[in-house]
Structure 1
């Protein structure tokens, strides 16, 4: 099994990029940037590029800002332990930046995200390992690359945001933070998902599902390949 999880607002309870932008952008970025993103006028990459281009503080200062907000959602260590015990592949996929994801994830947790360098302003790019063509979704590209590399066919997505939706729909099973944008979108479109508040709930659902007889369907679960 291949399990992908978003980082901001999913593994962390707070969205850390939101914290950075709230502190350092001098305009209403929710109105200006999220409106363009929601309408499809800018991609997630362009959203991050524009927002971080106006952040003029280095990583050390931003990490000091973020530490009080960077608590991990309860049960995350339990999920990592379950994946290790079961031999499942766990990978974090994020539109965030490596300077804070690397800082707050448990050591050794695999992740893919946008790259960034700071030269007085943050410059956000796509990592060399991920080839992103016109119209490609970054998280779907990571998903496809990991499926090819690991040979895993069964896929799970865990997330909370609107930008998680394309990758979530490409997976066999979806967990959405309860009441989140992803939860709302799945409900709106009839995409089966399991809402959760803690990773302990995710662990219980995955562990139970892994023990079912081969070919037995879980209530509310999509058949593999749908989406």
Structure 2
């Protein structure tokens, strides 16, 4: 159940009305490049594709809930737990898809929003911690292969046995405890888009999400949409991060059209976007491996710390901690020291990893 929020949300307000003549681009002006990134599970679709598979063909809902708690507590990394969940599956790919097709529910306005993106030349990309073959198959089924082909998917690969006896994620970022670092993917896309703009125009980056795993990517966006009442919105409220709430993709379409008109009127499509986020990459540079900033160290839950700072806030398993009691490793000493410092409310915290 969503947690009640008492502080008022930091919601981006509509742009002030402009004269009609101001909104018409002058000669030589052009539309700014807008690039959309969206989470998949809980955002485009109301349910989680992985959860449906695990509950029906894998470890089961009870074991999955235990594993989810291990992520939230920081006992195990997201990647480690995900490998166990995916590894528990024993079903051929096509058979596994049957239950997803039966139980998944797409946002009622997503198809219209995607058509809006196509009509306006806005690239729409899925960015997910899930498995790319699963997500592609779902999009093909719900949108049709022709429309699905227009959506790039940035997600992990998969090695699936023909008989379904073994499912193994192939991590997009093997060196990360997250498996797929969404912030890195968005940052790389931003840099590539900027390099593609020969006149120095900076593209506008939009991110759409719903949950804790979207936190790193959300901080990379110029315009952020958070599904109303879920954890991403609560985090934005608690940390004063500007965002726009949405109930369906129709809300996003209306707001994005306003953002586009606002930018046309104020910048004529040149230079920085009207809603440029100057902190898009700065927070990751500041929160390098040698320092954990206060806003991360004091974030509300350990799960959020883990997604924002996986190397520092993912603890060793209980067995590993017990085994190291007689000969504590340098990494464990620093992790324990970090947790102690955070609990005292101090910061920033220096960590030499």
TM-score, normalised to structure 1's length? 0.86
CA distance in 2 between counterparts of 1:55 and 1:19 reads: 11
CA distance in 2 between counterparts of 1:208 and 1:43 reads: 40
**Corresponding residue to 1:224 among 274, 277, 290:** 277
Judged with a 3 Å threshold, the aligned counterparts in structure 2 of structure 1 residues 27 and 73 are, in CA distance, closer, same or farther, namely closer
Q: Which residue of 2 aligns with 1:146?
A: 189
**Corresponding residue to 1:161 among 211, 215, 219:** 211
Q: Which residue of 1 aligns with 2:233?
A: 183
Q: CA deviation at 1:223?
A: 4.7
SS at the partner of 1:214? helix
CA distance in 1 between counterparts of 2:259 and 2:54 reads: 39
Q: Which residue of 1 aligns with 2:167?
A: 122
CA contact (8 A) 2:127 2:155 kept: yes
Q: CA deviation at 1:148?
A: 2.6
1:34 aligns with 2:64: no
CA distance in 2 between counterparts of 1:5 and 1:41 reads: 28
Judged with a 3 Å threshold, the aligned counterparts in structure 2 of structure 1 residues 7 and 162 are, in CA distance, closer, same or farther, namely same
CA contact (8 A) 2:35 2:204 kept: yes
CA contact (8 A) 2:37 2:208 kept: yes
Runs of 4+, deviation exceeding 6 Å: none
**Corresponding residue to 1:198 among 248, 251, 276:** 248
CA distance in 1 between counterparts of 2:130 and 2:278 reads: 28
Q: CA deviation at 1:32?
A: 2.7
TM-score, normalised to structure 2's length? 0.57
Question: Structure 2 regions of 5+ residues with no counterpart?
Answer: 1-33, 195-201, 268-273, 281-353
Question: Structure 1 regions of 5+ residues with no counterpart?
Answer: 216-220
The C-alpha deviation readout for 1:140-190, integer Å capped at 9, x for no partner, is 121122223322532111011110111111211211111111112112212
Judged with a 3 Å threshold, the aligned counterparts in structure 2 of structure 1 residues 112 and 134 are, in CA distance, closer, same or farther, namely closer
SS at the partner of 1:166? helix
